[in-house]
A and B are shown apart, each in its own frame.
Chain A
């Protein structure tokens, strides 16, 4: 059967029912447009958040601990005797031979590595606040973190300008009413207390970092920890952050130390994203499915109105499948045109949303809403919409074309 004939008949049907056709197309366009907008918004906000997260923290952190507790001396000594309440001897003496380990890692990892000392401390400046104190080597740190670009006041290298100098987060500085050049008391876990000078203020965008993390030189951190010469963390930055899990596994296999990728460190957050994705995709699918009901209604109406035409086309010798195809083509026309306008609507909505600025509690600033523009959103939304439209047309078309022409012709006579 000539396909242009079927298209011709289908085109005539949809163009002679302008209002119905426009309603159907509007339904499809709304479904596609809002789906694209939701996908852009959702993915935009997610990517924006992850970008901040990945920028703020090392892609892989090698810690001076093992995944599983090592065999205890008591167990090794008295293997046949069950012993209870024996203290688990699991000292964390730092990473052994950190320079050698780093040199080895640098030879193969796609990125760079820097040493650090991570401990806890208390800042005393009128009130006392517990913080995570990270000792870094500024020359190496700039290769593995965005701290240098996150500085709002001072520079990362200023840490070397004063004894016991520290760089603190903007939120913490505001909390303590501390400015660059001020001195604060820093108290380590062993009770060591030193007077530190604030030489810089940074803002990462993550409140928990800006409020609870401060940087100092490695030497100062070691003093506060009471363990001179210790390096208890290696911080890796990779060219491709998405390879972090793979690299972490390789590093752990090589060094034996627990290596945590940024994905693992934020696995709870990422799993909540997965749940959110599932919910949003379900809603978007439902939107597209609902929009196809308009097409279903229109095709049902047309097939009901056209029962006589269907009968006559069949009696003239057109096959049932060909007649059915006419109505599927009609739905496809509605779907294609509706999808096209849906794409325009979706893009317009995304653009409009991106012009709106909102207060971001994460960064404490007013920023435009993040929209992610992806051709995949348009392809997937359009594809699902077309599938739903043709699927919605199939059933009324099948029902209508199964009617015996004699019944209709007799009825009309």
Chain B
């Protein structure tokens, strides 16, 4: 039996106000370790909201998110931040790199925040990550000196820097050209193949089909779940990612 890395139990997120909204409505979902799942759905269906709840960026109004067997609903904000820092890696539609820092410094940021490694070890790992994503020569460049695809790869390297169990990506290819999209998706696929759990929100059904599983969301609920085509489709397109 597969080990569950991420689980949502009766997950709901409502916004109360003059006009109340239900963003996520009672979702039950279990993601196995090393599984690559894609969350799809029309705009406003609640897929990003679900992703933020799964990545502890947002707190549910009901239900529970269990990360690596640890329930999180009763954690303080500081402890939730610690779980994000150590167990989750985030990739967003826009790279969100700190503009004043170089690629390497951006990758070092989560490691330095965690403070578990020496400066030398962190730099070695940062360079190793960048090299594995084909950015060896761009370590000392600032984000404005990189292309869109390169920035997104730096963001992926940053997400991987603390060796998180789970990678959470929200439309990571949404702002990229076709070639970069293929490349980034291929990298995420490789990450999953190396044993990490990857949860990706995407609009692109073709890309979603390459995931191990596709979860289609409508009106904050799981509408359908499909098995994806998996790794084989990506073999030709993706650059090889060394084990990081």
Contact = CB atoms under 8 A, between A and B. Distances in A.
A317 B56 CA distance: 10
Contacts of A319: 77-78, 81
B141 interface: no
A1 B94 contact: no
Interface string A302-313: 000000110111
A161 interface: no
Given A309-B98, A316-B85, A406 B171 contact: no
B173 interface: no
A199 B168 CA distance: 102
Contacts of B112: 2, 4-5, 8
Interface string B83-115: 111101010111010111100000001101111
Contacts of A311: 96
Contacts, number: 78
Given A2-B113, A2-B115, A406-B57, A316 B84 contact: yes
A4 B111 CA distance: 13
Contacts of A9: 98
Interface in A1-28: 1-2, 4-5, 8-9, 12-13, 16
Contacts of A412: 92, 94, 96
A1 B90 contact: no
B48 interface: yes
Contacts of B100: 12-13, 16
A410 B171 CA distance: 11
Contact of B115 (A1, A316, A321): A1
Contact of A406 (B58, B77, B96): B58
Interface in B196-215: none
B35 interface: no
Nearest to B158: A316
Contacts of A314: 81
Contacts of A5: 109, 112-113, 115
A315 interface: yes
Nearest to A409: B92
Contacts of A312: 92, 96, 98
A316 B114 CA distance: 10
Nearest to A408: B96
Contact of A315 (B82, B83, B84): B84
A251 B149 CA distance: 91
Contacts of B55: 315
Interface string A77-119: 0000000000000000000000000000000000000000000
Contacts of B109: 5, 313, 316
A409 B84 CA distance: 16
Size bin of chain B's contact surface: 20 to 34
B44 to A, nearest CB: 12
A320 interface: yes
B165 interface: no
A212 interface: no
A413 interface: yes
A405 interface: yes
Contacts of B58: 404, 406
A74 interface: no
A315 B113 contact: no
Given A12-B101, A316-B84, A317-B81, A410 B48 contact: yes
Interface in B40-55: 48, 52, 55
A413 B94 contact: yes
B102 to A, nearest CB: 11
A386 to B, nearest CB: 25
B64 interface: no
Contact of A318 (B85, B86, B101): B85
Interface in A278-292: none
Nearest to B171: A413
A8 B112 CA distance: 11
Contacts of A313: 98, 109
B190 interface: no
B96 A308 contact: yes
B113 A318 contact: yes
Nearest to A318: B113
Contacts of B94: 412-413
A8 B102 CA distance: 13
A413 B57 contact: no
A257 B88 CA distance: 86
A136 B171 CA distance: 100
A1 B93 contact: no
Contacts of A409: 57, 92, 96, 170
Task: Determine which residue in B81, B98, B170 has the highest number of CB atoms from chain A within 10 A of its CB, and name it.
Answer: B81
A292 B140 CA distance: 36
Interface in B13-71: 48, 52, 55, 57-58
A393 B58 CA distance: 27
Given A16-B100, A413-B94, A413-B171, A318 B81 contact: yes
A315 B48 CA distance: 14
Given A1-B113, A318-B113, A406 B82 contact: no
21 contacts: A1-B115, A8-B112, A12-B100, A16-B100, A308-B96, A311-B96, A312-B98, A315-B84, A316-B110, A317-B81, A317-B83, A317-B86, A318-B81, A318-B85, A318-B113, A319-B78, A320-B81, A404-B58, A409-B96, A413-B92, A413-B174
Q: Which 8 A-B pairs have the closest CB atoms?
A: A317-B85, A317-B84, A5-B112, A312-B96, A2-B115, A12-B100, A413-B93, A16-B100
